[in-house]
Every structure is written in C-alpha cells, then in structure tokens.
Structure 1
Amino acid sequence: MRRSASASKKKSGQSNVDSITSSTTDLFRSASSKATTKEMDRIDHLFNQYANKSSNLIDPEGIEELCSNLEVSHTDIRILMLAWKMKAEKQGYFTNEEWRRGLKALRADTINKLKKALPELEKEVRRQSNFADFYAYAFRYCLTEEKQKSIDIETICQLLDIVMGSTFRAQVDYFVEYLKIQNDYKVINMDQWMGFYRFCNEISFPEMTEYNPELAWPLVLDNFVEWIREKQA
C-alpha cells in the first residue's frame, strides 16, 4: 500500500509539472502569436500607406514614394534586392502578399526598420550562394509581358550597370559598349544573360586566355570576345 501511495504522489507531482509546463508553453505560444499578429498589422498598415486604393497594389507611383521615404533612388540596386526578397513577380508592382513576405523576412514593420534593413539585405544578396539567383531574378523581373522571353538592348545595358557594375566594372563597360555598337542583336535572352554572368566569374579580364569559343558559350559572347581582341591588337 505504501508503494502504491508513493507512486500515486509521484504521478500527481509529475502531472502538476506537466500541467505547469503545458500552461507555460501555451502562454508563450499565445504571446508569440499576438506579437506576430501585431507585427503583420503594422506591415499591412505600412503597405496601405503606399498602395493604390483601387487596385490594392503598390504601383510605380507608390514605389517612387517608398524610395523617397527610404532616401534611395528608384534605380538603386537595393530596391531590386527588396523585390527579390519579396519574390515580386511584376515589375513596378508589389502585392500585399509579396510585401508581407519580404518585410516579415526582414523583420521590418516600419519605414525606419526597413531603411536599416537594406544594408543587411545587400550583404545577403551579394553572398555567392545568393547572387546567381538574384542575377537571374533581375532578368525575369524585367520581362513586362507574360510570354516575353527577351529584353531589348537598351534595357539590358541599364540592368547590367545596376546589377553587375559595382562588381565587374570593366567587363560591364566593355560589354555595354559592344552591345550598343553591334547590329546583330536587338534583344538578349536568359541564356545570353546568364552566359555573361558565367563569363565574368570564369574568365580573367582583359586577358581572356581561358576563353574557348568551342565550348558552350552563347554566340554573342564569342562575338564580344573577338571584338575585344581586335581592339587590343
């Protein structure tokens, strides 16, 4: 009987501990849930400050106002990085879902927090593990029509300068110069766009001794390299 009573007390004591633990966990979950709800409410409130009321989208005008409040140019690469973080699908527009996704990830529910988050976002994007994805995203983001597969040369030159200019200045300057004077290409497709990224990362410049046109390079890069070598001759 004593053993039974002792066992009963142990069970009762363990039950109390479990009950307290469960209550504490529930309280923590409840507090965390409330904090998350408040954060999302503030993120939604911020969205509504810039959104077009009729479309419920942040449109180009709203993005321009956002850039002004962030004290950055609308051509600043960090705005493109912000779109990447949101996984925004349409150039010049942010949906509420995209806005929530991006700002929640950045833990930014005020304009000041978002401003402070931009330098860290830039560091994140420039990590080698992320930059190739961002570079590809930049091309897709500039496709303005659903079935569009390529981008005009003028836009490509601007995009190259924004996305790659600070990292591969010489390569970008030469490639942009070539694209502007050549007559073979009116547009650039994704394969050509990614080929230039590979070129910048794999080929020493301006020597280009490793470049072999027999390998799987886009023809536009074969022509580009030939043009540079003629200039250097």
Structure 2
Amino acid sequence: MVRPPSFCGVAPKRKAVGSPTSESAPKKRSTRVPVVYEDDSPPPPAPVKKTKSKSSMSASTSSKKKDKGKTKQKKEEVITISSDLSGEESDVVIEMPKKEGKAAPVKKNKSKVPAASTSTADKEKDKAAMKKQSSKVSKVSKASKARSLPFEDAFPAWFSQFAEEGEPDKMGGEGIEKLFEDMELSMEGAHPFILAYRVGAAPGTFGSFSRVDFKRTFQPFNIASSSTLSDWLAKAHDEIMGSVNEYNFRRFYAFVFPFLKNEGAKTIPGEMAVAMWGTVLAPKYPLAESFVEYAIAQGDKFKAVSLDVWTQMLEFCEAVQPDLTGWSEDDAWPSTIDAFVEWKKEKDAAAA
C-alpha cells in the first residue's frame, strides 16, 4: 500500500512527544567506563545517576512505545482512509470508518445514464432545429435574391419550379401542392381559393393556375418568390375572411361556384359544395356548420347543388340566427333550406 504524501514526515515529528532526557539517555549509557581518580577519595555515588538514567530510559522507552502505538494506529487509519479515497483526486481527508459503506461512485454512474440519453435527445432536437433554420435561411436568401433581380428575370425561374412537365405555362395539382408547401401554408383552408380569386382564375379551371394570371397579378407587386407570395396571400386571407366588410367576402363567395363548376354543367357535386361550405361559410357563420352536419347526414340524397341554393345559402346564414330566429315560413327559401330547418327543429326539440 502506497502511503499518502501527508504521511511522510509524521513519525519523526512525533518523537518530540518524549522529554529531552530521552535523547541524552544513550549518551550516558555509552560512558560507563570506570573513572580513575588521582587521589584516594572515593568516587561520587553513581547509582543515583544510573537510577535516574534507568527511569528516564524507561520513560523514554514507554514514550517510544506509545509513539509507536500511535504511529501504528495512524498507519491503520491512513490505510483505511486511503482505501476509502482510492478513487479521489483531492488531498487526504480523514473520515470516520462508518462512511466506508457509501457507494457514491455507483450513484454517479447511474445518474449519468439518463443524462446521456437526454443529451442525445437534445442533440437530435438541435439538429432538427438547425435543419429547419437552415431551410428558412435558404428560403430567405432565395427571396432576397429574387427581390434583387428584376421581375422579368426572377418570375420565369420561380414559376417554372411548379409548372407541369411539358406545359411550362400551367401549374397543375402537384405544382400547387409544392407551391403551398414552399409557402408553408395549408391547403385545407380557404387559401387556395383566395389565391384563385385574387389572380382572377377563369371559371371551370379548378385545380390549376396559369402563368398568364400569375404574371398579370404579381408584376405590379414585384412578387417572384414563394416567401413574398406567402406574405401577400396571408394579408388577402385576412381581408376576405376576417374583415367586417361583407362586400369583399360576398364577391369571393360568388366567385367560388363558377370556379368549381365544370364547363357546361349547371350544378356542382353535393360533396364538393358541402366541403366548400365547411371551408368558407362555417368559420364565419355557426348556422352554416349546422347545415354541413345536416347535409352529411343525408348521405347520397344530397347529390348536387344549384347556383340558386349556393347563393341563397349565404343569404340564409346572414339573415337567420343559429337558433333559427329570423326564419319565417312565409320566406321564399329553396326547398333544401326548408328541409334543413325542419331537421334542426326536431334535433333541438329532442335535445331539450
């Protein structure tokens, strides 16, 4: 067992515990040679000194034994301490033997396991955040580059990213999905229809956009990137869906039916009409949400919607409250709306 550095030099210092007589005792023992005196006088009585010397030697011997005992005891303590602190890097610290049973290193090792897993999870999150940030930076750099270029140079390269293969002047379904993904906007809401309305899409062109409409609409605003179009479209959405000015919304609502209707048809599929009412009417009018529930409950019976029903539905939602206040049997509503009123009355009565 290697002794701690602090143990070196302890034993010599402990010799000071004995009296100075312990150091002079060996000198007296070495001078026991008989002394010859010139005169015949008897020598001084030595036994007294010898007795003192023996007592001092005895005291010195006992003190040395005590010192040895103490030294031995200290050795045992140091050995116990050194075995207890074998894994530490700091100086020797005297501890009671009771503390030997502690298993602190084991606890430290156990606590490191979840910390490592947490660190791994944090690293994955950091990587994902960095990737997302890098994507945003890339989009911003592309947008700034597009702004720095003249519209005539930036627009063709931007639109061609979403154009159909073999038809450079048309953006089809896949291209529209890619555009909205690039703009980080959902296609589940009214945004695609508001975009079609603002670019002046022709009737019956649902599911596609033309290069001509985009260029005519966005050239005055110098919009030739997905990021700038996203900002522009978000403002247009708020102006139409969130504005108190019903004129903007009514014009947009009137645009949707011919845009959805196929060329030569007089109606639009009932499923399509119900989906659009849930998208553009229900967020503004609670009564429209109830009508959507009614139409879904009809199933295949709700086959098609005419322009008259489409137009009157907006009038009905504006004039009648969710509890049917404002409705009258004398009003000339389409039969589809009258059937809905009867269904809602029965439902409300059953719930009461």
Alignment of 1:130-145 (within 5 A): 130-143=248-261, 145=262
Q: Which runs of 5+ in 1 are unaligned?
A: 1-34
Post-superposition Cα deviations, 1:105-139, rounded to whole Å, max 9, x if no partner, equal 65422211111112211122234221011112122
Note the C-alpha offset of 1:225.
Answer: 0.9
Contact 1:43 1:103 in 2 (8 A): no
Moved over 4 A (4+): none
Distance 2:341 2:222 in 1: 45
In structure 1, which of residues 124, 134, 141 is the aligned counterpart of residue 239 of structure 2?
124
Contact 2:206 2:260 in 1 (8 A): yes
Identify which of structures 1 and 2 has the higher relative contact order when contacts are C-alpha pairs closer than 8 Å and 6+ apart. Answer: 1
Partner of 1:3: none
Q: Which runs of 5+ in 2 are unaligned?
A: 1-146
Q: Does 1:191 align with 2:308?
A: yes
Post-superposition Cα deviations, 1:49-76, rounded to whole Å, max 9, x if no partner, equal 2111412200111101101101122223
Note the C-alpha offset of 1:94.
Answer: 0.8
Partner of 2:228: 113
Contact 1:77 1:163 in 2 (8 A): yes
Amino acid at match of 1:116: D
Secondary structure of the structure 2 residue equivalent to 1:50: coil
Evaluate the alpha carbon distance shift between residue 161 and residue 105 of structure 1 in structure 2; reply closer, same or farther with a 3 A threshold: farther
Secondary structure of the structure 1 residue equivalent to 2:156: helix
Note the C-alpha offset of 1:174.
Answer: 1.3
Evaluate the alpha carbon distance shift between residue 103 and residue 52 of structure 1 in structure 2; reply closer, same or farther with a 3 A threshold: same
Taking structure 2 as the reference length, the TM-score comes to 0.52
Partner of 1:8: none
Note the C-alpha offset of 1:231.
Answer: 1.6
Secondary structure of the structure 1 residue equivalent to 2:166: coil
Instruction: Using the aligned pairs only, state the percent identity.
Output: 27
Contact 1:82 1:102 in 2 (8 A): no
Amino acid at match of 1:190: L
Contact 1:44 1:100 in 2 (8 A): no
Q: Does 1:92 align with 2:207?
A: yes
Deviates more, 1:74-83 or 1:62-71: 74-83
Partner of 1:81: 194
Structure with greater Cα Rg: 2
Q: Does 1:50 align with 2:166?
A: no
Post-superposition Cα deviations, 1:154-205, rounded to whole Å, max 9, x if no partner, equal 212211111122212x323211121123365411111101111111111122
Partner of 1:210: 326
